[in-house]
Structure 1
Amino acid sequence: MKKMIVNLSSREKRMAVLENEVLRKIEIMPPHQRSIVGNVYLGKVTKVLPGMDAVFIDYGAEKNGFLHRDEIPAYQLSKRDGESPINHYIRQGEKLLVQVSRDETGTKGAKLTGLIEFSTDSLVYIHGIDYVGVSKKFKNERLQKHWREKALEYKHEDEGLIVRTSMENESEPVFLDTLNSMRQLYKDMERKAATLKAPALLYEKDTFLEMLITEMDTTTSGQLFIDDFEAYQELRKSIQASGKDWDLSYESGPKNIFSERNLDNQVEKALKKVVWLDNGSYLIFEETEAFTVIDVNSGKFTGKVEKEATLFAVNAAAAKEVARQLRLRNISGIILIDFINMEKAEHKLEIINLVKKEAARDEMRVKVVGFTELGILQVTRKRTSPALSETMLVPCPICNGNGKIESAETVAFRLERELFEHRKTDDEAVWVELSRSVAEVLLGEKESYRSTLEELIAKKLFISYVPGPINTYSIRRFGSCEEIERSVK
């Protein structure tokens, strides 16, 4: 059974997905790293790259976004005249509406599209392309043909429509209402853009809530536990509309919903370089800017059969865990897996098939290229968002970037969650010793969040500072204001 644990009680949003009680996926979204995929901006072309058939767009972020020729409406609506250079469709200094299709990752700017897309559970609307698609999951071929004809009848020349499965038994007025509402949303953005200077934000999407709904849509039933009542109500509405059999539970207890299920420890394990397997073998993860290397080691596993069979057993167990870890850690791009060398070609083929089978659970596109002459398996995984390590870790100031420590945000929000767990105790105050960088995140700019935090934990907060560059904290004691004041002094 699929379970989702959603932690929204603090500013850092978190989601865990378990399948048969095994952790398969973690999504963590700190406020400063909130995904902007789906947001629409008024952008300005800063540079045209004819050799790459692309342009750079200033849409208001620190790094300019990247827009390929195929994502430009003028190109799509010209019936893909591939002979014309890119500056035939777009010029430097030109303003246009762009939507983020991939967040910034590492040194790369966001990937953008000029084909603006909005979607509901029954219809996808794309402005800037002439296209009609109907879900292949329709049970009735006659209705599939009917909705294709209706989409062609009502769409404009510069619009693309994709009719989803849940539209199959809906009425024509429902289809038109849905289409017109999304069409109106695009027109409203155009009007807003006409009054603004580029760059400017035109439309902001709640990507986290949408991600939860998308995750729930991958199966017809499951359980979801969440600690935010408003989000709980929104998800209930979505489930009722979809007709899926999900059991939703709102949990308001003082204990953190992640720590109560031992998920915090599992998240910490997902950041470690070494992953031990049940049979005594282990994996070593090395993430770099260019690619990720995973080394398979037999460790304590010796086996009870011949050498080749023992090596295959180690590699088979590693293949399953590697596929799980890629999804769990959200590792993308080029991945090189150094399995223990096997002599038999059929064993290598079995490992390839095993990785493919396990990767089929992944919602990201995973391609298994094959083994190199050196016995390294080449894999690629589509990148749409930062890896878990990019979200939770920052370069270590002590080792000049050769290692990583937890960010001030990660430590501050852990402290915040720990304080929340004590909000129903009778103590008047709490004394916390922490580094200044963690305090700045915890309390906000000029301690603007202090009063809110004290109200939420129902305690006066006393702070003392720990010197040094490491992001850390320690809850020294709880008690009355008088007791704590004496202790701090």
Structure 2
Amino acid sequence: MCRLIFQTRLTEKIGLYTEENQVKDIQLDRITSHARVGSIYLGKVRNIDRSIEAAFIEIDKNVVGFLSKKEYPFNSELGSKLTEGSSIIVQVIKEAYQDKGPRLTANITYAGASMVYLPYSGYLAFSKKLTEDDRIKMESLLKHRLTVQEGLIIRTKSVDMAEDELLEQLEQLRKTHVNLLEFSKNKKAPCRLQTVNQVPDQMLNQYQSLPLTEIIFDQKQIMKQMQQKFPDLADKMLYKQSVSLPGDKSIDQILEEAVQPTVRTKDGIVLTIEQTEGLTVIDIDSSQYQSRQNRRSTLYHINQKSIRPIATEIRKRNISGIILIDFLKMKNREEQQHILQLLRKELACDPIRTEVYGFTKLGLAEMTRKREHVGILQLLTDKSSTIGYKKTIESFAYQFERELLAWNGTKTEAVIVACSPEFHHFIQQYILRNIADLVTIDVYQFIDSNTSNYHIVRSGSGELVQEYIDQKKEWNIDKVL
């Protein structure tokens, strides 16, 4: 049973992909996130570095992206058409990471349900899952309808669509591009021309070809928009104000688990995941694993058992870049190759491209995963390393927002919250105005420099809370909701 669950009512938009009641993927859209993958900008050329054949493009205030020559599809040197201060339409293909700005392309793409339109690519490509007969059919239908510079990537779902539907989709995507070009003429760089939301838009696009059983929304309006955008999935979309999450856990429990360095499986295997700026190391501990087999067979069996949870954690945490896995030692090369084969098979389900290279001389399995979006650890915490991690003020603010909503429908009528100055500033700017119509209880707050982020001081009936406020007038408690 495969489900997509979208929670978009609150400031932080959350998407979960689950299989057999287990969270496999977590995606977050935050109000402070900039330059998301797929978003299109009218950028301003800051400078051109001919030594590395690249240009640095300002796409937003204090946001400068990197455009390499290979991402410039206009058959000329970067410097021949681009000059400092000139404008260019670019799309984000990789989000900013640490001190590196976002990666950009001038080869814009527009994703449809059964095809991806590339106005400047000049080629026709096909999903690997299409048969040769399907490719020939699609090529004969579409190739002569493209100009020399236009291109398409044909998805697997195209074979289930009528010819007129495919042609209509092509025309619609072409029109989207023309409208964007017209829109950009009246704008001054740097300027955002089109935003692609990760939740739910990109996530639905990413998972639409899988055998989804349910797609659950907590907003009817968003569901209706997605039904129009993804008509093939419309009959699987449901509206539910609340939904039971895997393991009956809350969102905050799921997010907390996704940044913890230790993972304990039901088989007694313990994984330790340490993410640093340069790479991620995953260690396997078998001390709690029970087996009656000999040592060699046991180690090999544990390595096999650990593959699925390793693949799940990589995907769920959105770990990318270089990944080293310290499997239990295997002296037999055939066993190593079988482990690599099983790992590749498990990772094949990941929509993000992965490469498994093999074992190093020190016996570490070496792999990479393409970096597109910011990882869960980097989003939720203020450190790249899991050692001594601390959640950001922004993460606590979204947790606070969910906590306030959870009071709805309870006997609690009012709460008093102590806030640090920084936390107070963030929720005033981003949170409170967004949830004024959602929260049914009265919320009072005061600033306390000794409080770390926030603390619920009192909760209960309106009368009880008001009595407490009258006793603490020196605290300057204000009603905010």
Give the AA of the match of 1:206: N
Q: How many residues were matched structurally? A: 471
* Mapped partners of 1:33, 1:406: distance in 2: 16
Aligned to 2:238: 249
Q: Which amino acid aligns with 1:432?
A: V
Q: TM-score, normalised by structure 1?
A: 0.86
Alignment of 1:339-350 (within 5 A): 339-350=327-338
Asked if the contact 2:117/2:152 (under 8 Å) is kept, the reply is yes
Instruction: Give the superposition deviation at 1:488.
Output: 4.4
Give per-residue Cα distances to partners, 1:54-97, cap 9 Å, x unaligned.
2211112534211121211212xx6xxxxxx6535644443211
- CA distance in 2 between counterparts of 1:410 and 1:30 reads 10
- Say which is worse superposed, 299-308 or 271-280, in terms of deviation: 299-308
TM-superposed CA distance for 1:344, in Å, is 1.9
Q: For residues 258 and 230 of structure 1, do their structure 2 counterparts lie closer, same or farther at Cα, with a shift above 3 Å needed?
A: farther
The one-letter code sitting in structure 2 at the alignment partner of 1:467 is S
Distance 1:140 1:202 in 2: 38
| Residue in structure 2 matched with residue 81 of structure 1 by the alignment | none
Is the CA contact 2:267–2:289 (under 8 Å) kept in the aligned structure 1?
A: yes
What amino acid is aligned across from residue 305 of structure 2 in structure 1? A
Q: Counterpart of 2:92?
A: 100
Alignment deviations for residues 403-449 of structure 1 (CA, whole Å, 9 cap, x no partner): 3211112111112112112223455422123333333232327xxx6
Closer/same/farther in 2, CA of residues 109 and 124 from structure 1, 3 Å limit: same
Q: AA paired with 2:405?
A: F
Cα distance, 1:245–1:355 mapped onto 2, change above 3 Å: farther
Equivalent of 1:460 in 426, 442, 448: 442
Residues 53 and 68 in structure 1, CA contact (< 8 A), matched pair in contact too: yes
In 1, distance between residues paired with 2:78 and 2:350? 35
1:485 aligned to 2:469? Answer: yes
1:354 maps to 2:342: yes
Instruction: Show the counterpart of 1:67.
Output: 67
**1:338 has 2:362 as partner:** no
Aligned residue in 2 for 1:197: 188
Q: 1:435 to 1:23 in 2, by over 3 A?
A: same
Q: Would the aligned equivalents of 1:434 and 1:466 in 2 still touch at CA under 8 Å?
A: yes
Displacement of 1:484 after TM fit?
A: 4.4
CA 258–232 in structure 1, closer or farther in 2 if over 3 Å, else same: farther
1:19 and 2:19 are equivalent in the alignment: yes
- Aligned to 1:115, the other structure's residue is in SS state coil
Range moving further from structure 2, 153-162 or 104-113: 153-162
Closer, same or farther: CA 375–470 of 1 in aligned 2, 3 Å? farther
1:457 CA displacement? 1.4
Matches within 5 A, 1:400-479: 403-425=388-410, 427-444=412-429, 450=432, 453-468=435-450, 470-474=452-456, 476-479=458-461
What letter corresponds to residue 292 of structure 1 in structure 2? T
Residues 1:154 and 2:136 aligned together:
no
Displacement of 1:149 in angstroms is 3.2
Letter in 2 for 1:111: R
- Give the equivalent residue in structure 2 for 1:8: 8
CA contact 1:429–1:484 (8 Å) conserved in 2: no
Code of the aligned partner of 1:477: S
2:405/2:439 contact within 8 Å kept: yes
Aligned to 1:82: none
RMSD value, Cα: 3.0
Q: 2:311 aligns with which of 307, 320, 323?
A: 323
Which of 129, 132, 142 is 2:121 aligned to?
A: 129
Farther off after superposition, 257-266 or 18-27? 257-266
Q: Which deviations, in whole Å up to 9, do the C-alpha atoms of 1:292-350 show, x marking residues without a partner?
A: 11122223235322222222222222222211110011000001112222222222222
1:464 CA displacement: 3.0
Query: Residue 136 of structure 1: CA displacement?
Result: 5.7
Against the structure 1 CA distance between its residues 198 and 179, is the aligned structure 2 distance closer, same or farther, given a 3 Å change threshold? same
Tell me whether 1:33 sits opposite 2:15 in the alignment: no
Q: Which amino acid aligns with 2:122?
A: D
Which amino acid counterpart does residue 95 of structure 1 have in structure 2? S
**Partners of 2:6 and 2:200 within 8 A in 1:** no
Deviation string 1:6-45 (CA, Å, 9 cap, x unpaired) is 2222110111221111221111222112662222111122
Counterpart AA for 1:441: F
Change over 3 Å in CA distance of 1:69–1:317 after alignment to 2: same
Aligned residue number for residue 479 of structure 2: none
Relative to structure 1, the CA distance from residue 3 to residue 190 in structure 2 (aligned partners, 3 Å threshold; closer, same or farther) is: closer
- Provide the C-alpha distance between the structure 2 equivalents of 1:454 and 1:487, rounded to a whole number of angstroms: 27
Distance 2:208 2:434 in 1: 36
Q: Is the 8 A contact 2:21 2:246 kept in 1?
A: no
What secondary structure does 1:31 align onto? Answer: coil
- Secondary structure of 1:48 counterpart: strand
Distance of aligned partners of 1:371 and 1:361 in 2 relative to their CA distance in 1, 3 Å threshold:
same
SS state at 1:458 partner: coil
Whole-Å separation in 1 of the counterparts to 2:288 and 2:168: 63
Residue pair 1:98, 1:112 contacting (<8 A) in 2 also: yes
Shift of 1:455: 4.1
Counterpart-to-counterpart distance in 2, 1:486 and 1:406: 34
Partner SS for 2:188: coil
**C-alpha distance after superposition, 1:141-175 (max 9, x if no partner):** 3x753542343322222211234444446566544
From 165, 176, 182, the equivalent of 2:173 is 182
Partners of 1:333 and 1:382 within 8 A in 2: yes
Output the CA distance in 2 between the equivalents of 1:113 and 1:434: 43
Preserved contact between residue 29 and residue 391 of structure 1 (Cα < 8 Å) = no
What is the aligned partner in structure 2 of residue 116 from structure 1?
A: 108
Tell me how far 1:393 sits from its aligned partner: 0.8
Give the gaps of 5 or more residues in structure 1: 79-84
